[in-house]
Amino acid sequence: MATEVKTELKPWYKTKLPPGKVYQLETDLDKLWDGLEDVGIGPRYIGEIRKGYWHAELGGPKHNYKSFLYAEVVNDPNEIVDGRVEVIGPELDEIPPETSLPFSLHAKLWGPELTEDHEEFAARGMFMGLMFMEGVGMIGARDTIWTRISKEVAPRLSFKKLSQSIRASVLTSAPIVEAVEVKWVLGTPEIGGVKTIESILEETKPKWEALMAKHAAIADEDVDLFYGCTLCKMIAPNHACIITPAIVPYCGVLSFYTCKAIHAIDPHGYIFELPKGETIDPIAGRFTGVDDAIYERSDHRHKIFHLHSSIKYVTTN
Ligand code: SF4
């Protein structure tokens, strides 16, 4: 069971922040989910929380999308404390019903084989740790994140529990991660509201923008191999996405380099390699490799796919 501890580490941001509540989660891998038995967890709980039904809303348009969720890989294991959670701001039960706040949710991750190319993969683990929880609705990614926590589940939830689910989900879905530390900052008026969150966002953004620049530096013409993803078959059985250097999928949480990193970890998982094959139509983006791979993975329903067209022969991306 998670316990509250008092420890101070090097600040993560230059932006001045008050000390938060600090919890130390159980780090025994056999007890990853212990204590979460009173909250449903799984894909069946993916959903939206409508107006009037939410206890707390974090991020989103009311705060001009100045919130963020970020998974950051660190190179030095001494930079983080596995299982440490810090909540700067009120706990969930201290927030009045129907309160909307800007926020940041930042996890630092370490593993001997972990690189920056795994950051999006780990962010997906964070995302699933929240989105799969009963009564938690999420849309967006990184600095477009928008989350709601329902009134029904709020009495059984806390930021500590949400963090435990995030950590467990990351460690389960990405076993090369060995340490996870989580920090929440709730942008209450007492700590400066959206301005404070915006200031943290500006400090953090250059790190992921550098990664995006690396991704933008290659083009489809530079590679012979694309990647595909079949994860959403669990909710859409004929669905598969194609990910190329220029094309991100529908969910927006995968890139070419991320797929490459995931496939290297789990070659028999939901990410598959896809030789590009012959180029049939470079303008529409038709390749024999894509046609063949998606035909096989779309229950033999469709034979032709155009990567660059949303009018004719669209992919399921
Ligand atoms: S890439 Fe496509 S199949 Fe994979 S998770 Fe995203 S939307 Fe679903």
Please name which of 164, 136, 168 lies closest in space to residue 43, comparing C-alpha atoms. 136
Q: Which atom of ligand 1 is nearest to the CA of 230?
A: 3
Ligand 1 site, residue 250, Cβ cutoff 6 A: yes
- Taking phi over 0 as left and psi of -120 to 50 as alpha, with beta for the rest, 280 belongs to alpha
Q: How far is the CA of 232 from the centre of ligand 1 (A)?
A: 5
**First-to-final CA distance of the chain:** 41
Q: Which atom of ligand 1 is nearest to the CA of 240?
A: 3
Domain 220-297 has CATH 3.40.50.300: no
Q: Are 59 and 145 in contact (CB under 8 A)?
A: yes
pTM score, whole prediction: 0.86
Do the domains 3-214 and 220-297 sit in the same CATH topology, yes or no? no
Residues 6+ apart with CB under 8 A from 282: none
> What confidence score (pLDDT) does residue 265 get?
84
Task: Please report, in tens digits, the pLDDT of each residue of the chain (317 residues total).
Answer: 444 444 557 899 999 999 999 999 999 999 999 999 999 999 899 999 999 999 999 999 999 999 999 999 999 999 999 999 999 999 999 999 999 999 999 999 999 999 998 998 899 899 999 999 999 999 988 899 999 999 999 999 999 999 999 999 999 988 899 999 999 999 999 999 999 999 999 999 999 899 889 888 999 999 999 999 998 888 888 889 999 999 988 777 788 998 998 898 889 999 999 999 999 999 999 999 999 999 999 889 889 999 998 888 988 76
Q: How far is the CA of 22 from the centre of ligand 1 (A)?
A: 35
> What confidence score (pLDDT) does residue 8 get?
52
Q: Which atom of ligand 1 is nearest to the CA of 316?
A: 2
Q: What's the residue count for the chain?
A: 317
241, 242, 244: which to mutate for ligand 1, most atoms within 8 A of CB?
241
Ligand 1 site, residue 259, Cβ cutoff 6 A: no
Q: How far is the CA of 112 from the centre of ligand 1 (A)?
A: 27
Q: Which atom of ligand 1 is nearest to the CA of 243?
A: 1
The per-type count for the chain, helices as H runs and strands as E runs, is 5, 15
> What confidence score (pLDDT) does residue 145 get?
95
**Residue 280 to residue 312: CA distance in whole angstroms:** 15
Biggest alpha carbon distance in the chain? Answer: 62
> What token pair was written down for 250?
């529908």
Q: How far is the CA of 270 from the centre of ligand 1 (A)?
A: 9
Ligand 1 site, residue 241, Cβ cutoff 6 A: yes
Q: In what order do the strands lie in the sheet with 84-88?
A: 3-4, 21-24, 84-88, 179-186, 103-110, 68-73
Identify the residue whose tokens are 């049939």: 280
> What confidence score (pLDDT) does residue 49 get?
97
The residue type at 186: L
| Torsion sign, CA atoms 62, 67, 68, 69 | negative
Ligand 1 site, residue 131, Cβ cutoff 6 A: no
- CATH topology assigned to domain 3-214: 3.30.1650
Residues 6+ apart with CB under 8 A from 127: 69, 138, 141, 253
Ligand 1 site, residue 251, Cβ cutoff 6 A: yes
173, 233, 251: which to mutate for ligand 1, most atoms within 8 A of CB?
251
Tell me the pairing of strands 54-59 and 21-24. unpaired
Domain boundaries, the chain: 3-214, 220-297
121, 227, 232: which to mutate for ligand 1, most atoms within 8 A of CB?
232
